[in-house]
Amino acid sequence: MLMVLKYKFSLNMKRDNPITEMSPVVSGLLRIHKIISRGLNISIRKCDEYLGNQGIPSEEAIGFSMYLSTLKWVTHSHHLSEDDIAFPYFKDFIDAPYNRLKDDHNDMARILDALDQRILEVSSGGIGKLRKVLDEFDKLWGPHIKIEEENFTAEKLQGVIGMKEQAALAEKLGEHSTKNAGPGPLALPFLFYNLEGKDREAFMKPIPWIAKKVLVPIIWRSQWKPMSTFLL
């Protein structure tokens, strides 16, 4: 169902920067970075809260596991799209430390695999181990997205890639991402509600009305409701 919807987050544009607004590729990159960054920050913050309270409340355990699992899938999907499509395309036009970025992706993939195991232990006192895995993720994630956002700017892309080509690339990235982002009833709410204000508005604008008006808020609501505590 998620692949059919083709929500194409990479087509959304950041409205508070007129230059970025003209680059669907860069606006998509910045927005997915915001989504993952918030997901990671909330996960770390909740771990610290649970450690301070000597455990996770039973009513939050399922939702927290769901939130963590969706964070993993969305991050995995984002990196696959870069490795398979964006980086090979950019290499012909923009100098950047592609080997370093790919190595980071491989390192984060190992961390995400470890995260899978820690998610299974959330209800059995494994919050401390989970916190350590998230800390490893966090230490890589911040410097990694800084490199990407400094190298793949709207100015650089506009200098070498026309708008038609950018739009086509953004669409291709969006379609690729839908194949790997995990279950639609969890992925879409995660993507919607880890953004706020104009970012969320712009993200949701091109999404089919049936997804944002019927599927997510009504039909799928019971499936993602447990993780709503962690969303905006």
CB 199 within 8 A of CB 55: no
Give residue 154's domain range. Answer: 2-230
Are the C-beta atoms of 54 and 121 separated by less than 8 Å? Answer: no
Taking the chain, what is the end-to-end CA distance rounded to the nearest angstrom?
A: 24
pLDDT tens figures, 194-227: 999 999 998 888 789 999 999 999 999 999 999 9
Give the residue, 1 or 70, on which the prediction is more confident. Answer: 70
Average pLDDT (89-108) is: 97
Distance CA 32, CA 6 (A): 15
pLDDT band of residue 231 (cuts 50, 70, 90) is: very high
Question: Is the pLDDT score of 11 beyond 70?
Answer: no
pLDDT for the residue 3 = 40
User: What's the total number of domains in the chain?
Assistant: 1
The pLDDT, as a whole number, for residue 22 is 64
201: domain CATH number?
Answer: 1.20.120
Place of tokens 């508005």: 201
pTM of the shown model = 0.90
Could you read off the pLDDT of 59-87 as tens digits, one per residue?
Answer: 999 999 999 999 999 999 999 999 999 99
- Of the pLDDT bands very low, low, confident and very high (cuts 50, 70, 90), residue 21 is low
* Dihedral (CA of 212, 205, 168, 106) sign: negative
Assess whether pLDDT exceeds 90 at residue 8.
no
Cβ count within 10 A of residue 129: 15
Residues 184, 5: contact at Cβ < 8 Å? Answer: yes
**What pLDDT, on the 0 to 100 scale, is given for residue 223?**
98
Q: Is 57 left (phi over 0), alpha (psi -120 to 50) or beta?
A: beta
